Amino acid sequence: MIHVEDLSKYYGDFCAVDKISFDIEKGGIMGLLGPNGAGKTTTLRMLTGYFRPSSGTIRIKDYSIDDEILAIKKLIGYLPESAPLYHNMLVYDYLKYISDIRGLDKDKSRRRIWELVDLCSLDQIMHKSIDELSKGLKQRVGLAHAMMDDPEILVLDEPTSGLDPNQIVEIRDIIKEIGKEKTVILSTHILSEAEATCDRLVIINKGKIVADDTTKALKQRADEEYTLHLLIKQANRVEAEKCLTGITGVKQIQGNEIPKDNTVSLRLTCSSQHDSRADVYAAIKKTDWDLLEFYRETESLENIFRELTTEV
């Protein structure tokens, strides 16, 4: 559906996107992940035809972005970061204007606007001026704007940034719903969000793709190791470390003494192949220390993300 090859974008001498290539099949939600300034927005802007690539090709369906940009723009619904809409227009007027530009006829436009009002729950704000809306409401109007023509491809640039937790869940549900039939590309730097919504993740750093896989595969990669966290009273670090070394599966122990409370905090890095929790507990039970905390850190993509996007 979407074919991107050797795509680069330079701002003067600065290389924002450096020869990235990927293919996207029809259907599903793809997440574009990366730290701030990694080139997410620039990539999306090139996909949607706002920026012209410095080099490389983008083909969407059978259209090339150089020759048939108008056809491509018709296929794509795009919500730019922080939803920059005409702030002096009323929500209804704005949606009507977009439906006119998108070429919907009168009947269809009416039907579609009401569908979107339902989908994005805009019924309370149709008569309000866009500059009166809160960020979350504006984002919803922006989402309606992007979906006006029922586009085959929906591109969303940080759709949940600046929203409150309830709104994030709402928007996420809407996106998931759309992702069942359409192709959705969204960018974010919130990992839990990417994990929860996307089928496939492309992680970019400094304009380059550093990982491109299904969310499941990436998570498995992240799950090769897990971390146990312990807090023990009445013990000292050396003894505690000695007590726990040699347990099967425990690869590394990191101890930290907190003299004020007479406690030791320990981080055990364990291999996923073996569940060492029972053994660790058994070893502690033999001593006369007080076990205050014992939990497995829920590690998700965070580690892998940090690994891929920070410089060593």
Which positions touch another protein (CB under 8 A)? 45, 48-52, 70, 73-74, 76, 78, 80, 82, 84-89, 93, 97-98, 100-103, 145
- Residue 63: both structure tokens together: 């259209």
What is the crossing angle of helices 135-147 and 106-119, to 10°?
140
Q: Which is nearer to another protein, 54 or 271 (CB)?
A: 54
**Which residue number, 163 or 280, has a Cβ lying nearer to another protein?**
163
Q: Which is nearer to another protein, 18 or 93 (CB)?
A: 93
Residue 256 Cβ, how far from another protein at the closest point, in Å?
Answer: 47
Nearest distance in Å: CB 145, another protein: 7
Distances, alpha carbon 38 to alpha carbons 4, 62, 84, 187, 203, in Å? 17, 29, 21, 11, 9
Q: Give me the least distance between CB of 24 and another protein, in Å please.
A: 18
Whole-angstrom Cα distance, residue 223 to residue 219?
Answer: 6
Q: Which is nearer to another protein, 26 or 87 (CB)?
A: 87
Distance from C-alpha of 270 to C-alpha of 126, rounded to nearest angstrom? 54
Nearer to another protein, 88 or 256 (CB): 88
**Distance from C-alpha of 276 to C-alpha of 245, rounded to nearest angstrom:** 12
Cβ 89 to another protein shortest distance, Å: 8
The pair of structure tokens assigned to 44 is 């999306």
Least separation in angstroms between residue 68's CB and another protein is: 11
Kindly give the pairing relationship between strand 200-205 and strand 14-24: unpaired
